[in-house]
Structure 1
Amino acid sequence: MVEKCMTGRQVIKYRLDQVRQQLGFVAPLTTDEQEVVRALLPEAAWPLFLTMSRADQQHSLRVCRGLQARGQTDSDLLAAALLHDVGKAEGRVPFWTRPVIVLGKKLAPRLLRYLAIVPQDFSSRTPSWQRALSYAWWHAEVGAELASAAGLSEQAVHYIRTHHQPSGPAQILHEVDEVS
């Protein structure tokens, strides 16, 4: 995790910047940035990208550019970078869930895994707080399904599905995501 390489002050600044962005204090993509994204995604995936918050769009573009800065040119990997967090879009993952996930992973990982049920297993009685927490936990899987439906390749979908695995097939995506 990125925080292992940071001082306490740097971690606080990093997390506060994330809060600021998620509260909406982030500019929309410029026309030039939108053209970059559109060039890297299948046309059918552009509307899916637009479902993400401004903060998640900016984050995804930073991840994509971070991969390019490391010499990555694989179109599947770059498309996956742009949609790796799309499972959080459309209000599935409200702001409050993000710090809960970060803190839960550190302080109560077993409880978090217990509470985060697979979205396919939701019932009409699943409380909204548990749905939000579950979408946050399972966003990679949800995003992979959405990306598949939007026409991304099997490889790109696989990268999205595994982007939280430090030693998985999307290891480079994971590394850049952790610092972006």
Structure 2
Amino acid sequence: MFLEKILYRLGQVKQQLGFVKPLTNEEYAEVARLLPPAAQRLFLTMSSADQRHSLRVYHGLQARGCQDLDMLAAALLHDVGKAEGRVPFWTRPVIVLGKLFAPGLLRKVAIHPAEFERQQAPGWQRSLSYAWWHADVGAELAARAGLSARSVLYIRTHHQDHGPAHELHLVDEVS
């Protein structure tokens, strides 16, 4: 199990470094059939690696028999809080390792993005904070893009083992 996780994470690193095939026109059309126009524009703000990952999660849910359109829309945007440079590459391994070895320290360093102005957070802390709070940030973006309240809830809770987005969480962990 440990070796599988390491190989999975190394695959993620490879993808984030740009070794990922961009989505095809047919795949973008598939996304467009499910997401409203504002949410489609939001999807396009994600890196090719994150778009590809989100589509894998979407297909993984479908393979498990999921027909809940709110859950499927959430799958496509569950990591949008990382987009637009909020979560640079270097923060991803720091978050993964921090969760494993120093979760308490990470929780102290990662302030909610709503607190940035009040706390005058430096750039490195903002990046780590966005990585830590990307589900909340993504949920807010999705709400503004017109996704349903249920989709927004699924995005916000997609890292909770036994939360409302449990099925999304399971597929996300292996995609």
TM-score w.r.t. the length of structure 1 is 0.94
The whole-number CA distance in structure 1 between the counterparts of 2:54 and 2:38 is: 18
Out of 11, 16, 20, the position equivalent to 2:10 is: 16
**Shift of residue 126 of structure 1?**
1.1
Q: Please list every run of at least 4 consecutive aligned residues from structure 1 whose deviation after the TM superposition is greater than 6 angstroms.
A: none
The whole-number CA distance in structure 1 between the counterparts of 2:68 and 2:37 is: 18
Q: Does 1:162 align with 2:157?
A: yes
Measured against aligned partners, the alpha-carbon deviations of 1:120-146 in whole angstroms (never above 9, x if no partner) come to 000273110000000000000000000
1:3 corresponds to which residue? none
1:39 corresponds to which residue? 33
Q: Does 1:74 align with 2:68?
A: yes
The whole-number CA distance in structure 2 between the counterparts of 1:146 and 1:134 is: 16
2:54 corresponds to which residue? 60
The whole-number CA distance in structure 2 between the counterparts of 1:15 and 1:106 is: 13
Q: For residue 92 of structure 2, give the secondary structure of its aligned residue in structure 1.
A: helix
1:25 corresponds to which residue? 19
Question: How many residue pairs are counted as aligned between the two chains?
Answer: 174
Matched to 2:154, the amino acid is: Y
The whole-number CA distance in structure 2 between the counterparts of 1:129 and 1:27 is: 29
Alignment of 1:21-170 (within 5 A): 21-123=15-117, 125-170=120-165
1:172 corresponds to which residue? 167
Shift in CA distance, 111/169, structure 1 to aligned 2, threshold 3 Å: same
Measured against aligned partners, the alpha-carbon deviations of 1:75-101 in whole angstroms (never above 9, x if no partner) come to 100000000000000000000110001
Matched to 1:67, the amino acid is: L
TM-score w.r.t. the length of structure 2 is 0.97
Stretch of structure 1 that moved more, 14-23 or 145-154: 14-23
- Taking only the aligned residue pairs, the percentage that are identical comes to 70
The whole-number CA distance in structure 2 between the counterparts of 1:29 and 1:113 is: 34
